[in-house]
Each structure stands twice: as structure tokens, then as C-alpha cells.
């Protein structure tokens, strides 16, 4: 059976669709919401530098390996992994990488839909003018009104998951492919518009200094672990999204070049989002960059509420965030849907609804973390904090480590080179060096030091 024939889910129309889909997966709440506030709380420049180095030296090589595994298997991550393991005569334990990934994906989707729901709510709040002339106190009160109201959170979470189900139901070409072909260019145009607005009306130079002035004295191992976790999270690595999308990649597209483009787009969006958000936030005095998760939902709205045309720009901004989240969330759902279709021979719609409902139910844990269960913490973690930490800082790096070691040392060489035929010798050598040694050593040491730092210091 040829690889192409095995792909029961279909193939992207072109390499460009793959790029849009993978960029859509990569660019999400990680770039728009998490990156700015995490960079803010770790002091800016030095953190940003470590983050970008992690993307280039760990993220890109691992992403190539993930695409390769997907395209080699042309099935869901679980079955692609199983087949690669069997074809390489290797111990069957390696196939758990696929399982780890699908589980991480559903965990992430569960909280992702809740946070994306906040963005949907803010589109309405901005459009209604609730934040006109708001000060910090009022914006904080509006944000608590939202997060302390479980029913309102559940309503938006449900709507957001419904939007994802709608796209995934259409399948690879008509659903995911068509959606990203429209959404991604729209997202870029909106983001560039926001950048222009921020340059004209915000404090652009302060934002620039904050993101690019490097001061290593404030950098801790914990910050490095966060930077690496964020690099994995933002590139959608280590959990099968990129593997699943790789399974639909045309056979003649170059993996190396394509992945570099996706990583470049993703980093650009994070940096531009950071510049936009901090320019706007710094334009209003008295707001700290280290505002934490509320940065986008408290500090930014205050600024929007007090700037010329700010309310309209605010609406555009939160639509942009919602689009970014939407195109990522579909990639969290797709790997599990593809697997359930293969394993249980059921239709796409059924698989889709079953899994989205599962994520929805698990998401209630996140919903309640902000209200009725806000005080139920273990080691200082609410349910949401725990899921966020467990996925981004543990499951994704572990999955990435497994993928790097498997493709680097275990997978049959001819299977690997068969997928990388377009790469020249030097590039191949660099990739192997990064994949076999650099990435695993970096992931393992950052992991150990970061966990030690977080829990024992």
C-alpha cells in the first residue's frame, strides 16, 4: 500500500495549505496571551532571547522530526508512531509517545477553550463600550465579573468548542484546509493593522526596549524552563498536532524549509503581539508589565478604553485573539479525532463530538478554578494551573524528547532519509546534531533544573 493511499483522512491541497495549517496551529493563545505576560513577569529581554534560542535550536529540529513521523505514517499520531516503531523493529514502548501526545492535546484543549472563551466575551464587552474610560480598578472588576461567573464561562467555552467542532467536521481539505486558508491571511492583516496603530498611538520605544534589552541577571532556571515550555507550546510540539498535520502534507514538499517558515511566522507573531500589547499598555501610565494572566484582559482593556478609537481597535484585537485560538484549537482536536476514526471505524462527526464533549467536561475543572474551586489548591496550583504546568512544562517537553530520541537514534535510517531526500549533506548533518544531541541534552537538563527550581528552592 502506498503511503498516499493509506491516508484515509486526505492530503492538504498544497504545501502552502500545510504552512497555513501549521502556522494556524502554532499561532494561538501561546503567542497572543501567554508570551507577553510570561515575558513580562520574567523581566523581558533575556527571557525573550532564551525563548527564541529554544525555538531555533530545540523547536525547529523537533518539529521537523514530528512532521517526518506524520508524513511517513499518514495516520493519526498513535498509529503513525505504532507503525514507525514496528517498521524499525524497536521496543514497543516507544509508541506511547503517540498516546502521551493525544492525552496532552485533550488536556490543553480543555483549558484552551475556556481562555479562548474570555476573548469571545471581551469582543462583546469592547463592542458594548463597557470599558469606555475604564481605570485599572474597573477593568479588574469587569474581569472578575467574568471569571467568577461559571455559567458565563461555560457558555463561551461551549460556543468556542462548537466553532472547533464545526471546522473539524468538514475534514482535512474542506474543513481544516479551507478554514486556515481564510483565517491566517486575515490574522496577519489584522495584526499588521494593530502594529501600525500601536506605533502611531502607543509607546512603541518602551515596548521595544522592554522586549529586546537583555539583562541576564534576572534569569533563573525556572525562567529557562518556562521559556522552553513556552517554545514547545507555541510551536504546538511534542503532542501530535504537528504530526497529524504532517500526515496530510504533500509528499514532494521539503520538510526542512517548510518548518523554518512556520517557526519564523510563529516567532514573528509572538514578537509583534508583544510589541503591540506592551506599546499599548505602556501608553497608559501606572500599568506594570508583570501583570500576569490578566495582562490581556485587564491592563490592555484599560488602555483601549482610554485611547483614540480604542474601543473599535479593542474589538478587532479580541477578534484577532479568538481567530488565533480557533485555528490552534482545531489542531488540538484533529489528532484525537483521526485516531478515534481509525481505531473504532466511526465517522468524523461522531468522533469529533465525542472528543469535544470530553474536552468540554474536563474544561469544567478550569472553569471552576477561577471561582468555586479557586481555593482548592495543591502545592499552590489550582486545577487550571496544574494542567497548564503539566502540559506545557512536562508533557510537551517529554513528548519532544521522546520524538527527538526516536527519530535520532531508533527509527530506521532509510525511513528517515526517505522523507528528507531534498536536504543537502550539511543541512542534514546540522539537523542530526541538533536532534540527537543538542535537543535531548538541553530538554533533559532544563527539565531537571527547572523542576528542581520550581519545587525545591
Give me the residues that bind ligand PHE (CB under 6 A), please. 25-26, 28-31, 108, 233-234, 236, 239, 241, 328, 331-332
Min separation Cβ 455 and ligand PHE, Å = 24
Min separation Cβ 70 and ligand PHE, Å = 13
Min separation Cβ 303 and ligand PHE, Å = 23
Select 392 or 405, whichever has its Cβ closest to ligand PHE.
Answer: 392
Min separation Cβ 96 and ligand PHE, Å = 18
Select 302 or 324, whichever has its Cβ closest to ligand PHE.
Answer: 324
Select 184 or 423, whichever has its Cβ closest to ligand PHE.
Answer: 184
Select 310 or 402, whichever has its Cβ closest to ligand PHE.
Answer: 402
Do the Cβ atoms of 317 and 122 come closer than 8 Å? no
Select 108 or 227, whichever has its Cβ closest to ligand PHE.
Answer: 108
Min separation Cβ 92 and ligand PHE, Å = 25
Min separation Cβ 232 and ligand PHE, Å = 8
Min separation Cβ 192 and ligand PHE, Å = 19
Select 108 or 295, whichever has its Cβ closest to ligand PHE.
Answer: 108
Min separation Cβ 410 and ligand PHE, Å = 24
**What's the 3-state SS for 419-457?**
HCCCCCHHHHHHHHHHHHHHHHHHHHHHHHHHHHHHHHC
Select 44 or 229, whichever has its Cβ closest to ligand PHE.
Answer: 229
Min separation Cβ 229 and ligand PHE, Å = 11
From CA 386, how far away is CA 394, in angstroms rounded? 11
Select 111 or 383, whichever has its Cβ closest to ligand PHE.
Answer: 111
Select 120 or 302, whichever has its Cβ closest to ligand PHE.
Answer: 120
Do the Cβ atoms of 201 and 363 come closer than 8 Å? no
Q: Which residue is nearest to ligand PHE (CB)?
A: 30
Amino acid at each position: 500500500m502506498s503511503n498516499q493511499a493509506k491516508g484515509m483522512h486526505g492530503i492538504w491541497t498544497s504545501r502552502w495549505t500545510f504552512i497555513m495549517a501549521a502556522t494556524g496551529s502554532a499561532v494561538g493563545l501561546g503567542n497572543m496571551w501567554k508570551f507577553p505576560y510570561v515575558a513580562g513577569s520574567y523581566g523581558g529581554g533575556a527571557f525573550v532571547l532564551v525563548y527564541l534560542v529554544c525555538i531555533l535550536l530545540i523547536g525547529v529540529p523537533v518539529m521537523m522530526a514530528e512532521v517526518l513521523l506524520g508524513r511517513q505514517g499518514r495516520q493519526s499520531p498513535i498509529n503513525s508512531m505504532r507503525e514507525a516503531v514496528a517498521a524499525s523493529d524497536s521496543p514497543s514502548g516507544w509508541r506511547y509517545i503517540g498516546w502521551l501526545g493525544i492525552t496532552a492535546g485533550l488536556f490543553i484543549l480543555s483549558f484552551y477553550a475556556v481562555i479562548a472563551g474570555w476573548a469571545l466575551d471581551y469582543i462583546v464587552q469592547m463592542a458594548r463600550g463597557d470599558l469606555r474610560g475604564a481605570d485599572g480598578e474597573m477593568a479588574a472588576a469587569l474581569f472578575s465579573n467574568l471569571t467568577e461567573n461559571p455559567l458565563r464561562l461555560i457558555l463561551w467555552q461551549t460556543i468556542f468548542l462548537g466553532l472547533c467542532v464545526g471546522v473539524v467536521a468538514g475534514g482535512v481539505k474542506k474543513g481544516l484546509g479551507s478554514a486556515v486558508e481564510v483565517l491566517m491571511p486575515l490574522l496577519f492583516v489584522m495584526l499588521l493593522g494593530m502594529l501600525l496603530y500601536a506605533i502611531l498611538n502607543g509607546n512603541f520605544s518602551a515596548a521595544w526596549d522592554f522586549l529586546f534589552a537583555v539583562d541576564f541577571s534576572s534569569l533563573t532556571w525556572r525562567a529557562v524552563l518556562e521559556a522552553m515550555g513556552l517554545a514547545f507550546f507555541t510551536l504546538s510540539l511534542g503532542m501530535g498536532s504537528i504530526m497529524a498535520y504532517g500526515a496530510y502534507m504533500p509528499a514532494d514538499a521539503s520538510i526542512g524549509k517548510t518548518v523554518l517558515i512556520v517557526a519564523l511566522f510563529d516567532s514573528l507573531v509572538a514578537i509583534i503581539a508583544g510589541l503591540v500589547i506592551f506599546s499599548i499598555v505602556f501608553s497608559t501610565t501606572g500599568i506594570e508589565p508583570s501583570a500576569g494572566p490578566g495582562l490581556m484582559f485587564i491592563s490592555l482593556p484599560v488602555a483601549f478604553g482610554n485611547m483614540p478609537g480604542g474601543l473599535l481597535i479593542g474589538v478587532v484585537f479580541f477578534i484577532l485573539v479568538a481567530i488565533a485560538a480557533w485555528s490552534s484549537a482545531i489542531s488540538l482536536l484533529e489528532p484525537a479525532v483521526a485516531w478515534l476514526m481509525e481505531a473504532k471505524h466511526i465517522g468524523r462527526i461522531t468522533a469529533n463530538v465525542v472528543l469535544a464533549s470530553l474536552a468540554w467536561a474536563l474544561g469544567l475543572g478550569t472553569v471552576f478554578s477561577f471561582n468555586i474551586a479557586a481555593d482548592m489548591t495543591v502545592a499552590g496550583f489550582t486545577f487550571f494551573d496544574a494542567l497548564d504546568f503539566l502540559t506545557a512544562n512536562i508533557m510537551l517537553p517529554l513528548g519532544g524528547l521522546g520524538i527527538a530520541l526516536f527519530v535520532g537514534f531508533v527509527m530506521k535510517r532509510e525511513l528517515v532519509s526517505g522523507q528528507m531526500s531534498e536536504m543537502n549533506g550539511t543541512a542534514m548533518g546540522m539537523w542530526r546534531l541538533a536532534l540527537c544531541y543538542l535537543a535531548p541534552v538541553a530538554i533533559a537538563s532544563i527539565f531537571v533544573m527547572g523542576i528542581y527550581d520550581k519545587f525545591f528552592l
